[in-house]
Amino acid sequence: MYYTIYKTTNKVNGKIYIGCHKTNNLDDGYLGSGKLLGRAIEKYGVENFEKEILHIFNKASEMFEMESELVNEEFVKRDDTYNLNEGGYGGFNFINENNLNIDLKKQIERNPELCEIASKKGNETKSKKWENDKEWAKKYRKSISKGLMKFYKDGGRGGFTGKQHSTEFKEQLSAVMKEKSKGENNSQYGTMWICNIELKENKKIKKNEEIPEGWMLGRNKWKNLPSYDEHVKIFIEYSEVVKLWNRFHSGKFRSLRHFEENEHIERKYLSKKFNKFFNLEKNRKLKSNKSLIIKRPF
């Protein structure tokens, strides 16, 4: 049995992976089991990787000790390596020797210190992956989302189902979130939303930026626009009111009551129509101009 330390090199970009391997055949074609390395092999092809055996030992302990010396924190942080963890703690030998292949509760009972170390290392590994492996992070989010959707679709219930937070906890949570979202910590700080009605798109820009041509302040403004049929209806009604308004200001009538009597129109109808289409400011302008130019609203 050979206990080896090997180095696998990507011939395309020069990145390397150092690991340990227990084998009876030094030419078994094993390149490594690291996840980043595995993805790289899948991407570039096996033919673009070469393996070099650095050390051969008679004992697993010697192999792990050498791996821990080579694959240290400094080595893992390098940009030209595929290693995510420091060496000396991996492999199935280490797992079996330390009873890490049994139920989690039993692991904690037998080796609480070792489990704590493993937990910390696992969290560190995941944190590094979130930062360095965007593809993995994207797939991880999708898998979690997919799993939750299936869980709830199959009738699963969340751990908080049927429970309620206390009033005191809600107040504490509210105070914390308010503090966290103040000033620059708020995702909307110093920004504003603008939209393009023709493109039906929204985007966020900084408040000190100039609004581009064709864009306006706000979001989803196109959703509030009336349809073509509604436009036609509004235009017809608008035209009728304008005609009434212009007749009223033609000089033939002494007052609104005189206009009502001659045109046989109820005051309620006139008030409703005039108030709907003309505000007080516009009314003042119309009274001085005595006329109104009709503009198509579409």
Joined together, the tokens standing for residue 233 give: 């209806």
Q: What is the mean pLDDT of each run of 10 residues along the chain (298 residues)?
A: 91 92 88 85 91 90 86 86 74 48 55 63 73 82 85 74 84 87 84 89 91 89 70 69 76 76 74 61 44 39
What pLDDT does 133 receive?
A: 80
Residues in contact with 41: Cβ distance below 8 Å, sequence separation at least 6, in sequence order: 31, 49
Question: pTM of the entire structure?
Answer: 0.36
Give residue 14's identity as a one-letter amino acid code. G
Element (H, E) at 120: helix 112-132
**Among all chains, which residue has been given the structure tokens 């009709």?**
294
What pLDDT does 143 receive?
A: 86
What pLDDT does 103 receive?
A: 54
222 vs 5: CA distance, rounded Å = 64
Beta bridge partners of 8: 17, 51
Helix residue ranges per DSSP H, 14-81:
35-44, 60-70, 73-77
Q: How many CB atoms lie within 10 A of CB 214?
A: 10
